[in-house]
Chains A and B, each alone.
Chain A
Amino acid sequence: MQPEGLPALLTSGLTKSFGSLVALNNLDLQIEQGEIFGFLGPNGAGKSTTIRLLLDLIRPTAGSATVLGFDCQRESREVRGRVGYLAGDLRLYPGLTGQETVELVASLRTTPVDRAYVRKLAASLDLDLAKHAGSYSKGNRQKLGVVLALLARPPLLLLDEPTSGLDPIVQHTTWDLLREEASRGTTVFFSSHVMSEVEQVCGRVGILRGGKLVAVEPVAALKERALRRVEVSFAGAAPENGTFTMPGVREIERHATTIHLEVSGDIDPLIKALAGYHVIDLHTEQPGLEDILLAYYQPDPAA
């Protein structure tokens, strides 16, 4: 049972530089217990750096982080005792079987490991633990990584691109496992650059770009704020340029009888403005979260 009221994860001004490269810049982030939080960003944005800082594998240049109230540097052993971790590029001992790897990790945990649960996990992921890790495919290595992260049923899971290399069926099984853990009160923090994965599982996302946190939002809000493309076809010639200029609406393309607009936020003012014209077709297109992310990933012109 974890202490109530404490955030599962809290970072304050967390910064990491490697020489002149600032890999993570002043990260302030709070994740509550039981959340499934997606940490998004392109390669090199600082996602893995954040996770490695939380595990004390690397030390911060500035700032601090706590997991369930324990300081990630001063009390790192307590932190790791409460964390299940899956590395982005998981490396295993090729000479050990899956079962031997499980036993090695279990022997290092501070809480007892339920072998029946491990067997259930392996079965649900269709993973043969009797084989040597060296003979595993990328997908099977990743499955074993999921088993190792979950085996002690820790209150916080730090997963670095957990479904990378898994086939779609196993991806869904993994998401189900994560949802099941979250329903028990486990906090799940996972990095990804695949938006569809985040849409499937997460309640809230943080978006990193160039080491900076540029947004933290519920997935639903992120979608709501997304730009909507609207294509309007008129019975006659399209109204003259600037007719639909209003807050949140931008004209991006025009033809003889058709206008393409980009709308952010509420679409109602545009609909009301269109009511004065003979519209023969109206087509709106909700962009995927990938598009939203791509907009966030664009280099900051002010930078």
Chain B
Amino acid sequence: MKRFPLALKTLRDQRVAGTAAALVAFLIGLMDLLIYPSYKKQLADFQYPDAFKGLIGEAGSIASPTGFITAEYFSWVPLLAIVIAIIAGTAAIAGEEAAGTLDLLLSQPVSRVRLLVEKTAGLVALTIAISLGGYPAMYIGSRFVEFDLSQWRLFVAVVSTIPIALLFLGLALWCSAAMPSRSMAALTAVGVLVVTYFLNAIGGAVDVLSGPRKLSPFYWADASHVLIRGFDWLRAGGMLAVALVFLLLALRAFNRRDLSAGGREFSLPWRRHPGV
């Protein structure tokens, strides 16, 4: 008998999307390292707009290895892991509920807490695997080109992208557990992702947004900060704590509500009707 059948099934369900996302991260990481030597000369004279500053964080110059890898890799590749986390997180409960398969699982002697915790465990493993997908490429790439950044700092910077991905996974799970429609859950989580991403990116150049910018998790997940100063336990811990709060909210919401019999993809929460 399998020990964690629901966690394993969750991983199996997402294996194609997860492998594809990790492969993309790997290829982008490899390409970034390999093109850097020829690209850095052009970038030295590059006059980038103020709005671009948010994407290179504390690095100062995009021509430096830190600025280059922050802008070319860390400013958007972690979004892949986040997007997959949102897709898989909303599928975990709301997706299964809409498909009607949640009944098959929850009519067995499985508590809702166990179901959600096992699925979360599977999704955490998936998110970590995608987040780390780019590092082997950076390691391989640095064997062939001169890239003046320590392997340890690069590795730590890649690791530092995990907490924000888990934060959005937690948000997606909360939406998924609280809303009976996957579309609505995904729309909410993606909405938060888009708003907070641009709040941080634009906030770097617009004074009036410099305060609200700190509400964005992307502000605290700045890879250039880690590349320059090392792993920031406080920032990572803060994001993991928020992820945990989201998970607890998801458990609470999921444990309290009626489950619909499935078959509906979109419904508004105030028009829920779990079936007679």
Contacts and interface: CB of A to CB of B under 8 A. Distances in A.
A107 B100 CA distance: 20
Interface in A60-119: 76-78, 80-81, 83, 85, 87-93, 95, 104-110
A52 interface: yes
A87 B103 contact: yes
Interface string A38-70: 000000111011001001011100000000000
- Chain A interface size, as a band, is 35 or more
Given A18-B274, A46-B276, A91 B258 contact: no
A87 B107 contact: yes
Contacts of A81: 109
A23 interface: yes
A57 B255 CA distance: 10
Contacts of B9: 104
A104 B10 CA distance: 12
Given A59-B258, A89-B261, A89-B263, A80 B108 contact: yes
A57 B107 contact: yes
A217 B1 CA distance: 43
A105 B273 contact: no
Nearest to A105: B108
Given A18-B276, A49-B276, A81-B109, A107 B1 contact: yes
Contacts of A18: 272-274, 276
B234 interface: no
A25 to B, nearest CB: 12
Contacts, number: 88
B260 to A, nearest CB: 9
B107 A78 contact: no
A77 B110 contact: yes
Contacts of A87: 100, 103-104, 107, 261
Interface in B90-131: 99-101, 103-111
Given A89-B262, A104-B9, A52 B110 contact: no
B275 interface: yes
B102 to A, nearest CB: 8
Contact of B5 (A77, A104, A110): A104
B148 to A, nearest CB: 47
B275 A48 contact: yes
Interface string A256-275: 00000000000000000000
Nearest to A81: B109
Contacts of A95: 13
A88 B274 CA distance: 14
B259 interface: yes
Given A18-B274, A77-B109, A108-B110, A91 B5 contact: no
Contacts of A107: 1-2, 5
Interface of B: 1-2, 5-6, 9, 13, 99-101, 103-111, 258-259, 261-263, 272-276
7 contacts: A52-B274, A57-B258, A77-B111, A83-B107, A90-B100, A91-B101, A91-B104
Interface of A: 18-19, 21, 23, 44-46, 48-49, 52, 55, 57-59, 76-78, 80-81, 83, 85, 87-93, 95, 104-110, 148
